[in-house]
Structure 1
């Protein structure tokens, strides 16, 4: 068992204490309304469909995604 400050701590306890990385799965452009979802199989963003309509927005927009400094990529362990 690894030692943490001189105490024997089970490995599973140490792993449970590490923050978990969160990745966004959806993003929307604040300018034109384009919505994309993360495709893990293709490892890329794909245009999302809502009610059968693709949310393409404006093809000439320089997208301003709603994922910004307020997004916290790490979750504290429970």
Structure 2
């Protein structure tokens, strides 16, 4: 994911990657590379969540992504891929 984002950024595309925060110490947003932001979305417990339990946090994660999207004007994101 990161390498694809970096390649897109090198071509002038601004990229934001949304991922589930795994620690309360995770920054809300950080630059992974020039033109690539990573947004850590609080969704579910930070610890003790098995990868098989990740689908149980999908609604909370989607809500976090939609909250961020709502902060921007309509059409801010040209493309969303999951």
- On whether the aligned pair clears a TM of 0.5, the verdict is no
Higher RCO, 1 vs 2 (CA within 8 Å, ≥6 residues apart): 1
In terms of fraction of residues, the more helix-rich structure is: 2
| TM-score category (smaller protein) | under 0.3
Compare CA radii of gyration and give the structure with the larger one.
Answer: 1
In terms of fraction of residues, the more strand-rich structure is: 1
* TM-score, scaled to structure 2: 0.24
